[in-house]
Amino acid sequence: MTRDLFDLTGRTALVTGAGQGVGRGIAHTLAAYGAKVAVNDFFLERAQAVAAEIEAEGGKAIGVTADVSDFEGVLAMTARIEEALGGVDILVNNAGNAGPDASMPRLDFWETDPKEWDAYFRVNLRGPMVCARACTPGMVARRHGRIVTIISDAGRTGEQGHEAYSAAKAGAGGFSRALARALGRYGVTSNTISLSSIAKEGVPLPPEAEAMMKEALKRYIVRRRGLPSDVAPVVLLLASDQSSWITGQNYPVNGGFALAL
């Protein structure tokens, strides 16, 4: 295989939640293969910092901000992207967890207030739906598009203590499959990637969390946490023209945490 096999020159990609972590890695990888990248983050300064990194490496990128669950805000963001880079050809729904409320406490489900579920559904389910709604009209008109939604093994297997998150990620998977059926005739594909534990670059776990993670990793076939560099190549494949006959599928990138046919 050569780099040209996954050439994205002339394509415009929007990566949500790309101001750090997995999203940042995806944005850098798509840019390295020729895509013009709109780096989205809830915090504009983070998005602009990643865009500046990409530009410094010779790529083309802009930093944009929007709450992915806010339809009007996302429409304004995609209009800005179209003006600066062209219409969105590749949408990577990466924004997740509870958005800016990511530090929400982990409680037994029967101790939670239903209001505490809203952030998980807003970011992980409504977010991909809103962003897809904003981007798909242009994809349909151009008869080409790639949608990749980052979900979680929590949505496949369930995770105790994260019931709302698990439900939202499962919902995003179902939405992606339904979208694949609706859009395939227009040359637009929709797939998901399910992740397990991903390490944050340069951010060590606290000692008590490190001990818990060491125990959790006994369930993994590859006994280490994932890295953004493990995820980005799979996104690259699904964003490229090489994946034109792949749609409605989920790709676990999880070190063997959970297995599936």
Q: In this predicted structure, what is the pLDDT of residue 42?
A: 96
| pLDDT attached to residue 70 | 98
Would 260 be classed as within a structural domain?
no
**Is residue 261 a part of any domain in this protein?**
no
The SS3 assignment for 30 reads helix
The one-digit pLDDT tens for each residue of the chain (261 residues) are 455 899 999 999 999 999 999 999 999 999 999 999 999 999 999 999 999 999 999 999 999 999 999 999 999 999 999 999 999 999 999 999 988 766 556 788 999 999 999 999 999 999 999 999 999 999 999 999 999 999 999 999 998 889 999 999 999 999 999 999 999 999 999 999 999 999 987 777 888 888 888 988 999 999 999 999 999 999 999 999 999 999 999 999 999 999 987
Which residues form the domain of 241? 3-253
Q: Tell me the pTM.
A: 0.95
Are the C-beta atoms of residues 52 and 76 closer than 8 Å to each other?
no
Residue 28 resides in a domain? yes
User: Which residues in the chain belong to E strands, given as ranges?
Assistant: 12-15, 36-41, 60-65, 90-93, 145-152, 188-195, 250-253
What Cα–Cα distance (Å) separates residue 55 from each residue in 61, 65, 203? 6, 18, 25
Q: 258 lies in a domain?
A: no
Active site residues: 165
**Residue with token string 């395939």:** 184
Residue 177: the pLDDT is 98
Residue 1: what pLDDT?
A: 42
Q: What letter does residue 226 receive in the DSSP assignment?
A: B
What CATH number does residue 116 fall under? 3.40.50.720
Question: Which pLDDT belongs to residue 148?
Answer: 99
Q: Tell me how far the alpha carbon of residue 52 is from its chain's centroid.
A: 20
pLDDT at position 16:
98
Distance between CA atoms of 51 and 63, rounded to whole angstroms?
Answer: 5
Contact 95, 17 (CB under 8 A): yes
Residue 69's CB: how many other CB atoms inside 10 A? 22
Instruction: Quote the pLDDT of residue 3.
Output: 57
CA distances from 171 to 85, 86, 125, 181, 203 (A): 31, 30, 6, 16, 30
pLDDT value for 105: 63
Q: Number of structural domains, the chain?
A: 1
